[in-house]
Amino acid sequence: MTNKPLNIVLFYCANALDAAALRKNAGETGADDIKTVSLPCSGKVNLLYLLKAVEKGADGVVVITCHHGDCKFLEGNLRAQKRVEAVDALLFESGLGRGHIRVIQKNTENGVKHIFEEIENFKNQIRVSSGR
């Protein structure tokens, strides 16, 4: 692995995550470039948002949703999960392989800390699969 910086695009539900906490933690992710995109609900994310992020050079895309059962709009987090699965399949078809996109659910007990641990795991997974 070369430890080349990764470009990560992070879509997050504004009801699941506080923008200030996100900025603070995103700043502690080392040399990696993390772009954050706030959504009124993770269900607002659509296939094109996610594909465009990859098309424009993202090595990985993360969608942060509320915990199951906690969505303010009832089923936005469920829709986000389905759309991420659809994009994962499309990226596989396109030749990129699986695992470049994932959903991280907010864990009600560990909050933001848990999310950033998951992002680190995701980045390591991409580094291993792409040899970076």
Partner 1 sequence: MIVAERKSIPDLVEILQDHKKILVLGCGTCVTVCLAGGEREVSIISSALRIASNIHGLDFEIEELTIERQCDNVFIEEATDAINRNDAVLSLGCGAGVQALAERYAKKPIYAGLDTAFIGILEDRGIWAEKCAACGACVLHQYGGICPITRCAKQMLNGPCGGSREDRCEVRPDRPCAWQLIYHRLKGIGQLERLTEIAPPKNWEPGHGGGCRVIVREDHRI
DSSP bridge partners of 76: none
With CB under 8 A as the contact rule, the residue among 23, 52, 68, 113 that binds partner 1 is 52
- What is the size of the binding site for partner 1 (CB under 8 A)? 13
State which residue, 18 or 55, has the beta carbon closest to partner 1.
55
Question: Does 58 sit near partner 1 (CB under 8 A)?
Answer: no
- The interface region with partner 1, picked from 3-11, 25-33, 42-50, 68-76 by CB under 8 A, is 42-50
State which residue, 48 or 128, has the beta carbon closest to partner 1.
48
State which residue, 7 or 46, has the beta carbon closest to partner 1.
46
- Least distance (Å) from partner 1 to the CB of residue 84? 14
CA–CA dist 112, 101 (Å, integer): 19
- Least distance (Å) from partner 1 to the CB of residue 31? 23
Residue 110's alpha-carbon distances to 84, 113, 114, in angstroms, are: 23, 6, 5
Site for partner 1 in 66-105 (CB under 8 A): 90-91, 93-96
Rg (CA), the chain: 14
Q: Which amino acid is at 115?
A: I
Helices of type H across 33-106: 47-55, 76-94
List the strands of the sheet with 7-13, edge to edge. Answer: 33-39, 7-13, 60-65, 101-105
- Interface with partner 1 (CB under 8 A): 46-48, 51-52, 54-55, 90-91, 93-96
